[in-house]
Chains A and B, each alone.
Chain A
Amino acid sequence: MGLVNFLVYLSIMMGIYAILSLSLNLQYGFTGLANFGHVVFFCLGAYISTIIVLVFKMPFILGLLGGMFVAGLFGYIISIPTANLKEDYWAIATLAAAEIVRIFFLNEDWVVGGGPYQGGAFGIGGIPQPLRSLFSAHTYPFFYLAIVLVCLVATYIIINTLTQSPFGRVIKSIREGDNLPQALGKDVKRFRMKVMAIGGSFGGLAGCLWAHYHGFISPNQFLPLETFIIWAMVIVGGKANNKGAILGAVIVMIFYNSTRFLKDYIPIEAVTLASLRMVAIGILIVVAMLFMKEGLIKEKKTLY
């Protein structure tokens, strides 16, 4: 891979993960929801969009909206039975929900119509790329990068507007406990459900962008490890700061991909390399927690 191609690839990954970290940041950073299953939205967005576009032959934009809708709906629905769980139990429940969805796609290959598209453990290939025919193989990644950036900017604007609004004020108060918002007449459960739905749908957006970029998805791309990477982005970048969430995604993606260059310098096997990635991110989190508790960009004080 040439350097330019690699940089475009890296930027696309950064953009997609920045959308994921912005959406987790809304849930965890601003609302205090320790969502350990964020990858589920990524997974749902990818699968639903793939099914809509590949199996039902609908346009990309409908796949994107459908993926966002289903992921958001899933976020809304999992908040119902879990509404009364304490924080730690809630975190475990989200982790479990994500695994259930992944294992569903692993075992139920009929959801993609079986036959030509395989599905299940084999994954699904040949996912169409939007407007592919208008570009050469060389220029298409640049176009896709533009799509990702447009989505990222839209995500940033929407989430940032929300967090700075009176809605944002309420979710920030929920972050520090239910008692006060309850006493002030705020329907805490509903606010949490809304936050899970919004965060979920943007997670779904990222999944859709991922699926149509790679053209291939499979259940083992949506392991709980992905959630860990998104968490690293929020923690390193700075929780409850939207710019921080983007910066965190950029830095963690650089770390994540830096190990691939190690093989040029040290003789190392590909399998070891993959594990080294996680070690690198683990070290990054530990360093962030020890030396910059609030991340690279601190939460901004709201002034009037």
Chain B
Amino acid sequence: MLKVENVHKSFGGILALNGVTFSVEPNSITGLIGPNGSGKSTLFNIISGFYNKDRGEIYFKGKKIEGIEPYRIAMLGVGRTFQISEVPEKMTVLENLLLAPKSQIGEGIFNVFLHPLKIKRENEKLLKDAYEILELVQLYHLRNEYAGNLSGGQKKLLSLGRILMSDPILLLLDEPTAGVNPTLIRDLIIAMKNLRAEKGQTILLVEHNMKVISEICDRVIVLDFGKKIAEGTPEEIQKNEKVLEAYLSGSSKWELLHEDS
């Protein structure tokens, strides 16, 4: 599904990614963890085309993705969320969801005037999908609120709902549950698992919450200082010496992780 080969990226003097190689199996949920600043978001930005890599290759469904604009990568079926929620403030929650589906008929200026009925029907269908997703992320009651008025956690939920609405093949989720209350996280985990089963979607997930990781991930990849230091099942990772060391020296987050688990 996704193959990342020997990817390098530096920002000035900072080597954010230093030869990262891994692959993600179709229909799997893969966790990407690592201390703060280990390069997780940078990797997402490179896969989705927002940053250019210095070296290395990325393959999506066997095809190399090289030097193309982010919107084209999205059109190929790679959906992503942002660590800091990207939420158009002056659009309602519902509008945010309706924006997501790709290549809508009504996005063409001539279609707007030539096919008003088709657009109306398309919109009605999208609305139905949107209501379902809003129930899932528990934002239905806020559907007509400006997205700018949502709390941080609610914006995360909206971003998740929106990416589900766009129906990608591969989802890159950057800390989708940060700031979301634990009971809702549980529901979302179940929903994500169901989605994978139903639609055969593949998920690559950045997450600091070890509980979430061990509950939903088939495999986990650990980054530290831009290098992959471990890979395996959640159980293996939690016992891995290198991983423990990275977290102990790098930051205090590990304690947080264990508190949770």
- Spell out A's residues near B (CB within 8 Å): 158, 161-162, 165-167, 169-170, 172-173, 175-177, 179-188, 194, 198, 240, 299, 301-304
Q: How far is the CA of A302 from the CA of B48 in the complex (A)?
A: 30
Q: Are B74 and A167 touching (Cβ within 8 A)?
A: no
Q: Are B95 and A169 touching (Cβ within 8 A)?
A: yes
* B85-118 at interface with A (beta carbon < 8 Å): 86-92, 94-95, 98-100, 102-109, 112-113
Residue of B nearest to A302 (CB): B95
Q: Would you call B119 an interface residue if the criterion is a C-beta within 8 Å of the partner chain's C-beta atoms?
A: yes
Q: Would you call B226 an interface residue if the criterion is a C-beta within 8 Å of the partner chain's C-beta atoms?
A: no
Q: A166-B119, A170-B107 are in contact. Are A301 and B74 (CB under 8 A)?
A: no
Q: How far is the CA of A72 from the CA of B134 in the complex (A)?
A: 40
Nearest 7 A-B pairs (CB), nearest first?
A166-B106, A185-B74, A180-B86, A182-B70, A176-B88, A185-B102, A165-B112
Q: How far is the CA of A179 from the CA of B49 in the complex (A)?
A: 11
- Residue in A180, A185, A194, A304 whose beta carbon sits within 8 Å of that of B94 in the complex: A304
Q: A167-B108, A185-B166 are in contact. Are A161 and B113 (CB under 8 A)?
A: yes
Count, A-B residue pairs, CB within 8 A = 104
What residues of chain A lie closer than 8 Å to B91, measured between beta carbons?
169, 172-173, 176, 302
What residues of chain B lie closer than 8 Å to A240, measured between beta carbons?
90
What residues of chain A lie closer than 8 Å to B123, measured between beta carbons?
166, 304
What residues of chain B lie closer than 8 Å to A183, measured between beta carbons?
48, 50, 70-71, 74, 79-82, 86
Q: How far is the CA of A162 from the CA of B108 in the complex (A)?
A: 10
Rounded to whole Å, the gap between the CB of B203 and the closest CB of chain A is 16
Residue of B nearest to A182 (CB): B70
Known A-B contacts: A179-B50, A181-B99, A184-B100. Give 7 more (CB < 8 A): A162-B112, A165-B112, A167-B107, A172-B90, A179-B82, A183-B86, A185-B103
Size class of the B contact interface (CB-based, 8 Å):
35 or more
What residues of chain A lie closer than 8 Å to B79, measured between beta carbons?
183-184
What residues of chain B lie closer than 8 Å to A198, measured between beta carbons?
109
Q: A166-B119, A167-B107, A170-B107 are in contact. Are A185 and B90 (CB under 8 A)?
A: no
Q: How far is the CA of A173 from the CA of B98 in the complex (A)?
A: 11
Rounded to whole Å, the gap between the CB of B234 and the closest CB of chain A is 28
Q: Would you call B178 an interface residue if the criterion is a C-beta within 8 Å of the partner chain's C-beta atoms?
A: no
What residues of chain A lie closer than 8 Å to B72, measured between beta carbons?
185
- Pull 25 A–B residue pairs with CB atoms less than 8 Å apart, ordered by A: A161-B112, A161-B113, A165-B119, A166-B107, A166-B122, A167-B106, A167-B108, A170-B99, A175-B88, A177-B88, A180-B82, A180-B87, A182-B50, A183-B71, A183-B81, A183-B82, A184-B102, A185-B71, A185-B72, A185-B103, A194-B109, A299-B90, A302-B95, A304-B123, A304-B127
Q: How far is the CA of A240 from the CA of B90 in the complex (A)?
A: 10
Q: How far is the CA of A167 from the CA of B122 in the complex (A)?
A: 13
Q: Are B109 and A167 touching (Cβ within 8 A)?
A: yes
Rounded to whole Å, the gap between the CB of B166 and the closest CB of chain A is 6
Q: Would you call B144 an interface residue if the criterion is a C-beta within 8 Å of the partner chain's C-beta atoms?
A: yes
What residues of chain A lie closer than 8 Å to B122, measured between beta carbons?
166
Q: Are B88 and A188 touching (Cβ within 8 A)?
A: no
Q: Are A173 and B74 touching (Cβ within 8 A)?
A: no
Q: A182-B50, A183-B82, A184-B100 are in contact. Are A162 and B109 (CB under 8 A)?
A: yes
Q: Are A175 and B98 touching (Cβ within 8 A)?
A: no
